[in-house]
Amino acid sequence: MPDDTLLNQIKDPANRPNPYPLYARLRQHPVSLQDDGSPDGVWVASTHGAISSLLGDPRVSSETLPPADRPKTGNPITDFLIKPIRDRIVNNHRPFIFRDPPDHDALRSAVMHQFTSERVQGMRERSDRLVEELLDAKRDVRRFDVVDDLAYPLPVTVICELFGVPREDEPKFHEWATQLASALEPDSLTNDETRAKNSRTFDAIAGYMGDLIKEKRKHRGDDMLSGLANDTTPDGVKMGDYDLIATAVLMLVAGHETTVNLITNGLLTLLRHPDEMERLRADPGRAPRVIEELLRYEPPVQFRLRRAISPIDIAGITIPEGGDILLLLAAGNRDAAVFPDPERFDPDRKGVRHLGFGGSLHYCLGAPLARFEAESALTALARRLTSPRLVEDPPPYRAGAALRGPQHLHVAIEGMGD
């Protein structure tokens, strides 16, 4: 029988630097029931085959968020009249990653109508310039924090510019996004304090986005938010205000939180594999294969939560209707049945079918953006850093287990080249 404490060990911050031995133990059973503190536990899928099967199974639902329940204020009018209305609006207008077809498909289609390849690729040169500007600002230092000095400011600037968020407002999104990212952690669904913080944070960012949407309707720009606020898709879809706010919040949060981890995990991995760092420095054309292997080896999203809407027979067990399912993407990425020598970082690996961006209906919409932002950052770091070394290994990690990455990554250098 599988050890039903493994998931709790994965969530333990002490195991954040290296959860992979725990993933290997879970893979001994493709799907296992784990004790997560809830009455019925959670079914964890940990092999590449089981995860891939469940990602495409229509009996698996993404509607996992509990009903909205904003904290009471003590004001009777607010608590008994306004609060129920706000909770109902949130319940009916979730971000599309927490929705199933047909709502998911209609909202994603509307976003794709604006999130075009041309618009996204148009930011590639901007991403390259931003990386150089951020590194130029550190030209005279001999130690810098990759997270604070590059990995956070790069993607937040790119996604804000895509959405037409004024440059002076960008710092607000750091705190908002960090808090809202906790909604992907399983424990946040039952932790009243975290849910209350997320509600307040969502109200703050939603209020901001609501005002910005009104401005985009008065004075349209050539940004994504202007398009979403004003245009109808060829299928006749035009988002209402509440869905538009939820979508904008999702894109702004997801559009940089995961990329922060991809860049930071990427440099950490390269510094631990100096031969690969040198190869990238000598041949920047290797970057795409380096990024794909990083998405397998150290993915920014370790797992996602789903729910069975009817019984599912898989790997010799039956997940019951209503059962919570945790898709342990990072474990599937190191499945020896799919990846020879899976614990080795090998950018020359052939036919990489990683789960770093999920899959099926919910495959990461921002994957092209994340790829070239990471490419911009890692090629520039490999070229410009002289004799880089980690100040602390392992570095301190962020609290979350789902979005796993260093909270800080301090690197000592002898100089910053051109």
Which of the 8 DSSP states describes residue 362? G
What local confidence, expressed as pLDDT, does residue 85 receive? 79
Which pLDDT band holds residue 251 (cuts at 50, 70, 90)?
A: confident
Task: Using alpha carbons, select from 10, 4, 3 the residue that is nearest to residue 330.
Answer: 10
- For the chain, give the number of residues: 418
Q: What is the pTM of this model?
A: 0.92
Neighbours of 338 (CB within 10 A): 19
Question: Is 352 exposed, middle or buried, given 0-12, 13-18 or 19+ CB atoms closer than 10 A?
Answer: middle
Whole-number Cα distances in Å, 153 to 216, 289, 337: 24, 24, 38
Digit-coded pLDDT (tens) for 120-155? 889 999 999 999 999 999 999 999 999 999 999 999
Digit-coded pLDDT (tens) for 61-72? 999 987 777 777
Contact 7, 36 (CB under 8 A): yes
Q: What dotted CATH number matches 6-416?
A: 1.10.630.10
d(CA 382, CA 131): 12
E strand spans, 82-198? 143-145
Which pLDDT band holds residue 373 (cuts at 50, 70, 90)?
A: very high
Question: Is 306 exposed, middle or buried, given 0-12, 13-18 or 19+ CB atoms closer than 10 A?
Answer: buried
d(CA 42, CA 174): 31
Task: Using alpha carbons, select from 250, 288, 204, 223 the residue that is nearest to residue 364.
Answer: 250
Neighbours of 129 (CB within 10 A): 11
- 3-class SS at 213? helix
Bridging pattern class, strands 385-386 and 324-327: unpaired
